[in-house]
Amino acid sequence: MMTRLLRAEFTKLFTTKLWLWLLLGAIGMTGLFVGLTIGLADSAGNPSPPLNTPEGQRNLFGVAGATSALAIVLGIIAMTGEFRHETVTPTFLATPRRGLVVTAKVIAYAIVGVGFGAVGILAELALALPWLAAKGVAVSLTGNGIPRTLIGVLLGLAVNTVLGVGIGALIRNQVAAIVGTLVYFFVIESLISALPTIRDYYKFFPGGASSGLANTYQPNVEFLAGWQSGLLLISYGVAFAALGTALTIRRDVT
């Protein structure tokens, strides 16, 4: 039963072009961040740690995690699209046990999030490794905590995509859900991470937990340990998904 529901979710995803656009967006965004990180590394006054330090390299290879906003949007569109186009009606007619439907979506999009992250990581490696070699910076992908950063990126994107599915189940209006979420991440969380005193709590917010998970560096901001960030982020994902599921089960589809 669950296998069929998962396969159906993948069929839904791959029979429209959305995934392609978001993936291209993620590759472009990752490329841009890699370019900025390496390109500006030697400029004066750059507060980021230099590229030949472990921190610098973790930061560089953690940039694929910066596409988490796109991952959330992907999750939101996956869920709200069902309401927007009313495909939720055939979906629930085929599977009237709605809890199963939302659970399948959550699992499917966790997998999609990992795939999303994997492509981002491949893109950043393809760009960064030759570039660093040309600059004479030695990199070891197995050292300097980089494996943990990469796993953190994958896990972070998986959880963020699930978070998007949960948000979409709670706020069924697609535009409202996307705009609200982007405003939250780019305005509210940016403010939280920038304001003195308040920024000490940034580590407890979803964005801060994502950064902590990838073990990246941000000046003046402290993150929780990787495993704590991971657990916290997963808790956010599970909480939103559970809340979204509960509401989706109860709400009328008219």
Partner 1 sequence: MSGQIVVSGLTKMFGPVRAVHNLSFTVAPGTVTGFLGPNGAGKTTTLRCLLGLVTPTAGTATIGGLRYVDLPQPSSTVGAVLEASSFHPARSARNHLRVICTVNGYPASRADAVLDQVGLLTVADRKVRGYSTGMRQRLGLAAALLGDPGVLVLDEPANGLDPEGIAWLRAFLRRLAADGRTVLISSHVLSEVEQTVDDIVIIDKGALVRQGNLGDLASQQGSTVVVRTPDPDRLVSALGRYDHRPGIRRRDGAVMVDGLQPAEIGHLAFLEGIELHELTTERSDLEDIFFALTGEGADR
Give the residue with the Cβ less far from partner 1, 14 or 186: 14
As a whole number of angstroms, the distance between CA 180 and CA 80 comes to 13
In whole angstroms, how close is the CB of 101 to partner 1 at the nearest point? 9
| Sign of the CA dihedral running 222, 228, 230, 236 | negative
In whole angstroms, how close is the CB of 83 to partner 1 at the nearest point? 10
As a whole number of angstroms, the distance between CA 121 and CA 139 comes to 15
In whole angstroms, how close is the CB of 22 to partner 1 at the nearest point? 14
Compute the 3-state secondary structure of the chain and give helix, strand, coil in percent, each to the nearest 5.
Answer: 80, 0, 20
Give the residue with the Cβ less far from partner 1, 93 or 134: 93
> Helices (H) and strands (E) in the chain — how many of each?
11, 0
By the 10 Å C-beta count (0-12 exposed, 13-18 middle, 19+ buried), 42 is classed as exposed
Give the residue with the Cβ less far from partner 1, 4 or 135: 4
In whole angstroms, how close is the CB of 2 to partner 1 at the nearest point? 11
In whole angstroms, how close is the CB of 20 to partner 1 at the nearest point? 11
Summarize as ranges the residues that interact with partner 1 (CB under 8 A).
4-5, 7-8, 11-12, 15-18, 81, 85-97, 250, 252-254
End-to-end CA, the chain: 26
Give the residue with the Cβ less far from partner 1, 34 or 169: 169
Give the residue with the Cβ less far from partner 1, 15 or 43: 15
